[in-house]
Amino acid sequence: MKVYLDGKFVDAANAKISVFDHGLLYGDGIFEGIRLYQGNVFRLEEHLERLWFSAKAIMLTIPLSRAEMAAAVCEACRQNGLRDGYIRLVVTRGPGDLGLAPWLCTKASVIIIADKIALYPPELYATGLAVATVATRRMGAEAIPPGIKSLNYLNNVLAKIEARQAGAQEAVMLNSQGFVAECTADNVFIVRKDRIYTPAVQQGGLRGITRDTIFDIARGLGLPAEEHDLTRYDLWTADECFITGTGAEVIAVVKLDGREIGNGKPGPVTNRVLTEFRQRVLAEGTRI
Ligand code: PMP
């Protein structure tokens, strides 16, 4: 495997960065996860826009133009002979000293890994996930604005550990007010009486690019979809629930906190959305 590292393609074994990189020392950096479907990068411009917004928010200068980054992403796929896969784009603050000061870091590092990903076994897309609400609350905008897709994922990692401890495959994270924010790397949706609801990003979630795609799909299918505050009660008593993310794509949640959601099987709206999602990802994208 060839990894893009600061302008060069190097063997994965030689793709190394400094132990003084603040991405490692402080989680000071940003990233994107992007999908490649049949030689098309899905919503590349949207991912790059979000990356540039993350960079702006943390006052990080990305040492490439948007066009150069787009070209490097496509080249990383070609170098690895990929037609379908997952691209991890990372920009670290770069090497600095042992203090926190980001302005002493010399130059941001850009890493692009193009590989395969399978977050869940394929059967689970037919049967759905068991999920647990965890005690770890999603950090709010008063701490780290959740719109920043930063390298600091410890909040989410703690939630993921808790979900596993509870025997669940994913965690529902609430915000400090007790409203549903999101899962550890996915947005949450419910279906009630053929209407689709998801929390506003102000409740502590990332504005997922898959989430945006779901709104487009719902519009195309004539299904009403809107942002709404959601509590655990709303999830427990929903007709259907599903989660969305670049890695997970669209996957049903059939159990939450030991309660079956709906009849305990992926519901008809979820299945329609998933089918449409699978078609849409093949029909759009940037040709590598
Ligand atoms: N929330 C978090 C915290 C995430 O890390 C992700 C995955 N990037 C998402 C939601 C889903 O976003 P997207 O659909 O853009 O992958």
For ligand 1, say whether the CB of 87 is within 6 Å of any of its atoms: no
Model pLDDT, residue 151: 98
Active-site choice (16, 56, 149, 255): 149
Selection from 256, 275, 273, 274 nearest residue 264 by Cα: 256
Total domains in the fold of the chain: 2
Q: Are residues 83 and 209 in the same domain?
A: no
CA dist., res. 232 & res. 47, Å (int): 30
Q: Are residues 256 and 190 in the same domain?
A: yes
Model pLDDT, residue 26: 98
CA dist., res. 178 & res. 248, Å (int): 25
Q: Are residues 194 and 277 in the same domain?
A: yes
Last residue of a domain, one of 115, 146, 176: 115
Q: Are residues 147 and 97 in the same domain?
A: no
Pocket test for ligand 1, best of 186, 209, 216 (most atoms within 8 A of CB): 186
Model pLDDT, residue 96: 97
CA dist., res. 60 & res. 80, Å (int): 29
3-state secondary structure of 274: helix
What is the extent of the structural domain holding 134? Answer: 124-285
Model pLDDT, residue 88: 98
Q: Are residues 240 and 276 in the same domain?
A: yes
Model pLDDT, residue 138: 97
Which sign, positive or negative, has the C-alpha torsion 10, 15, 19, 21? positive
Q: Are residues 65 and 189 in the same domain?
A: no
Pocket test for ligand 1, best of 187, 215, 280 (most atoms within 8 A of CB): 187
Smallest CA separation from ligand 1 atom 6, residue: 185
H-run or E-run covering 31: strand 29-37
Which atom in ligand 1 lies closest to the alpha carbon of residue 32?
8
Smallest CA separation from ligand 1 atom 2, residue: 185
DSSP states along 153-202 = -HHHHHHHHHHHHTT-SEEEEE-TTS-EEE-SSSEEEEEETTEEEE--GG
Tokens of 48: 């790059």
Last residue of a domain, one of 115, 136, 161: 115
Which atom in ligand 1 lies closest to the alpha carbon of residue 156?
3
Q: Are residues 147 and 185 in the same domain?
A: yes
Q: Confirm whether 265 is a catalytic residue.
A: no
Q: Are residues 143 and 277 in the same domain?
A: yes
Instruction: List helix spans (H) across the chain.
Output: 22-26, 44-57, 66-79, 123-127, 154-165, 209-221, 232-236, 268-283
CATH of the domain at 19: 3.30.470.10
Model pLDDT, residue 51: 98
Q: Are residues 147 and 258 in the same domain?
A: yes
Model pLDDT, residue 12: 97
Selection from 120, 126, 122, 123 nearest residue 266 by Cα: 126
pTM: 0.97
Model pLDDT, residue 117: 92
CA of 33 to the centre of ligand 1 (A): 8
Last residue of a domain, one of 62, 92, 115: 115
pLDDT in tens, 58-101: 999 999 999 999 999 999 999 999 999 999 999 999 999 999 99
CATH of the domain at 132: 3.20.10.10
**Residue stretches of the chain with pLDDT short of 50:** none
Q: Are residues 101 and 132 in the same domain?
A: no
Q: Are residues 146 and 52 in the same domain?
A: no
Q: Are residues 190 and 83 in the same domain?
A: no
